[in-house]
Structure 1
């Protein structure tokens, strides 16, 4: 109790150095904590996918005069070729990410969610949890899977499965599934996915999904074993040239778990903020040590007086730590 009273008196007696030391150390620790939480969030991107260590992405490189330009996507015919030619590939999916919003109508309700397009096998490769469906409706070629927010906005508490939505005021789509909202720490962000079979009709091109030219499709594959990836990455390189000999375009592949941190360069940000966090922490600690050291001579003199007045060794130790 005496030690606590002494600490409070000392804080009030030397307010500026004491409060500066405490505030500086507390601010430094708080900054480091927030930086750590941000780094943890960055490192957690896409980690909710159960098969992340077996998912790979195939993409195209476009040859130019003296260089090559990497694309995010690959030709749509690549996905089928991968699955047919490599037994190690269990499933493939072509994805048009939700780059923009589209108009969805249901009776008198209209919303503009972020809509992409994909082979619905995407939901067998990536982990997006269904809360309703999916329905097995092969007879309906034009389908859509939406998230909970979109479903609630259009249907309220009504079951949306089997209902028909109007897409872009032009096409009727059947709702065949509802998934939980995509986590914020996902590289694939969307409110809904339309089946790819709608695209040939939209673009009035019957062979739109069979070409080796259009590099718009993010092409994902699921491996039976991660160890099979090097063989596939090497084997797909010249696959476009096997079909179109006159082109210099070629394919590349990378593991999906490398997309956010390495392919998009975010690992550099983690390194920079880690260094900043270390510098802030070191600065805060050194500042606190300097303030304590500046009082050390005075503390030594005071401890000598305490001993002469009968203070025990334990009492002196308590007062020393109370200074810290």
Structure 2
């Protein structure tokens, strides 16, 4: 019986090639999209699960009230780790202090490579359950040791066992290789960590930490913990709430510091905080794309149902004859389901091929390294479930509907589908285009939001600016290096700072000024810069003057941005005194707000002061009178004169600034592709429906032409129903899209307003696409010679 079902199903597929192509093609695209979204969602939800104890690992974070608002930060004092171990050690299996990720030069003889690494306390390798290739978890006990990722070890030592071999870090410290661990996968928070060094070595390299007057006053490192097996994350978090507050002086208490644990399971998707409350994060995109995947697959299933029911009149006699010769309804249902599953299986095979072809491109767009898990039985079990569910979803309505025809009416010729039979098809088409229009509107609004932020004034001139890390040799010979570059004509100006132009690495409190609320805790981005900073970056002076070498007093001066001028409350800030740690600084200038952080949020009140030491970044304005490549070649030559054995590297400020939009651009691009695919699937269905309608009304068209109907009139008649359905879809889609997109935009302080024309463009676009899709079939039918249409009568 099953063999007979499949044979009949195969005959129907091969007999109706256009119908089969539309069904298999549409389902294949829908299944491919759903599969890729499913792989992406799985990758997101499995972030950090590489670490065996990820459900019990957390980062110690802090809430504090700055500038009248509750802020949340990941940085902690270096005392945080020993204090937690001493006071709350029973609640934790591991407590480790860590530096921030940075670039480090590893030297082995004449081989010098720059790799990303981090300083960790001893328990980190075990806490992170690193897979050791050589050595043990105890590899960080010796201050002068180092652990390498497998790829770094191979690049330096080839296939040799690197244990106990000696390297040099940053041309300063000789360290011994005590461990090699498997490279961490791409979907982990520590994926870029290729080198791990002991925290004790970081303390040796930064002796100022141990000589700080108040070790709890500065936040400059990270703290990670693994909660003990007999303690819950919430309980442990509550226990350490006042770990910092209990060690602060009276002045610092105004910030209302509160420590808490942020679980590793939430790092990737739920790390957004507003006013001290976790408001989610990227998890909303996981839900959004998951829903899109379901809807896109649904669109493909709708095509199948629509075309199957649309062909009901053609198959009515088949059903009548089968019932007349003894077929029961169950057999007919099985027949139609066998056709459905045959289509789904073929579509699934095609979808696998599409996914294989598209995954490299998809990974590039989505910033992933997803692979099809061929050897994973769970994948095949899910795929089988996927096929069963899709076949059931796509075939249920046709099977139940077609098998219900009454044989007596069909064979007598009195069976008519009737006007009500078209309603389900119209509902399904409306649903299809509602989803498509929502995606079109979403794509437009995401693009608008990105452009809105990109067009925001940034407060400096990006063109021709490059950024570089500053080595000790450059800092020691800064003036000579600057002078030589200017003499060579490679640059227009050069400056140094403690934070890059496109980031904030340093904030300070302890400021007082006339009229300040004594209970107000403040924390301002506070940049140390050389006096050429303004000339180099081209900031815009709104009041006062720039820093100058002609004024020795500028060493005790501040230039503030407009946000700071507003926050301080000075009507005329020039000449006003701003005390920092009790020392008076004179405000000499006000500049336009510089976009150093996220372009989607307000610029924070920021300060700039001059200093010649403890500077880590170079910002260079290339000479616009010659090509960038020539200037950079000169820069590299002069750089190597001062700095040996360090790879020369730089980055354009344009590129750094562009990175701030990557997440939103990625979402926008993915939304665009999914919208296009949804429309493609919907159009395939429309094309099939238009073909059927044109075929069904062939004789009607012939009669109308004989009676004088013109081709435009016939085209309008045949296209009218589809146009009406698309306009109805647009009316339904608009409020749905507005509700969800307006909620998404509220997540940004600086955002676009949704305009009425967005909905108009989406509706017009859907309408044009619909007309282009159906016009081929309608015009083809309208142009047929009526003699051919009517000769069978």
Instruction: Quickly name the TM-score band, shorter chain normalised.
Output: 0.7 to 0.9
Q: Is the 8 A contact 2:6 2:339 kept in 1?
A: no
Match of 1:261 among 257, 269, 284: 269
Q: Alpha carbons of 1:208 and 1:181: their partners in 2 closer, same or farther (altered >3 Å)?
A: farther
In structure 1, the residue matched to 2:415 is none
Q: Distance in 1 between matches of 2:206 and 2:240?
A: 28
Structure 1 unaligned segments of length 5 or more: list them.
none
Structure with larger Rg: 2
Q: Is the 8 A contact 1:57 1:220 kept in 2?
A: yes
Structure 1 counterpart SS, 2:58? strand
Q: Alpha carbons of 1:298 and 1:237: their partners in 2 closer, same or farther (altered >3 Å)?
A: same
In structure 2, the residue matched to 1:175 is 177
- CA drift of 1:305 comes to 5.1
In structure 2, the residue matched to 1:313 is 327
In structure 2, the residue matched to 1:14 is 16
Match of 2:292 among 276, 300, 314: 276
Q: Is the 8 A contact 1:102 1:113 kept in 2?
A: yes
Match of 1:156 among 129, 135, 158: 158
In structure 2, the residue matched to 1:225 is 229
Q: Please, what TM-score do these two structures have when normalized by structure 2? A: 0.38
In structure 2, the residue matched to 1:90 is 93
Q: Is the 8 A contact 1:3 1:322 kept in 2?
A: yes
Q: Alpha carbons of 1:182 and 1:293: their partners in 2 closer, same or farther (altered >3 Å)?
A: same
Match of 1:143 among 145, 157, 160: 145
Q: Alpha carbons of 1:59 and 1:307: their partners in 2 closer, same or farther (altered >3 Å)?
A: closer
Q: Is the 8 A contact 2:140 2:197 kept in 1?
A: no
- CA drift of 1:159 comes to 1.6
Match of 1:194 among 197, 219, 224: 197
Structure 1 counterpart SS, 2:203? helix
Q: Alpha carbons of 1:321 and 1:78: their partners in 2 closer, same or farther (altered >3 Å)?
A: closer
- CA drift of 1:2 comes to 7.5
Structure 2 unaligned segments of length 5 or more: list them.
273-280, 341-793
- CA drift of 1:21 comes to 1.4
Q: Is the 8 A contact 2:125 2:137 kept in 1?
A: no
Q: Please, what TM-score do these two structures have when normalized by structure 1? A: 0.87
Greater Cα offset, 102-111 or 217-226: 217-226
- CA drift of 1:103 comes to 1.4
- CA drift of 1:185 comes to 1.9
Match of 1:44 among 43, 46, 51: 46
Q: Is the 8 A contact 2:84 2:243 kept in 1?
A: no
Q: Alpha carbons of 1:139 and 1:13: their partners in 2 closer, same or farther (altered >3 Å)?
A: closer
Query: Greater helix percent: which structure?
Result: 2
Q: Distance in 2 between matches of 1:223 and 1:162?
A: 33
Q: Alpha carbons of 1:68 and 1:322: their partners in 2 closer, same or farther (altered >3 Å)?
A: closer
Match of 2:217 among 213, 216, 239: 213
2:18 is equivalent to residue 35 of structure 1: no
Q: Distance in 2 between matches of 1:139 and 1:297?
A: 80
Q: Distance in 2 between matches of 1:65 and 1:240?
A: 19
Structure 1 counterpart SS, 2:287? helix
Paired positions, count: 321
Q: Is the 8 A contact 2:104 2:169 kept in 1?
A: yes
- CA drift of 1:208 comes to 7.3
2:231 is equivalent to residue 242 of structure 1: no
Higher RCO, 1 or 2 (CA under 8 Å, sep at least 6)?
A: 1
Q: Distance in 2 between matches of 1:296 and 1:204?
A: 83
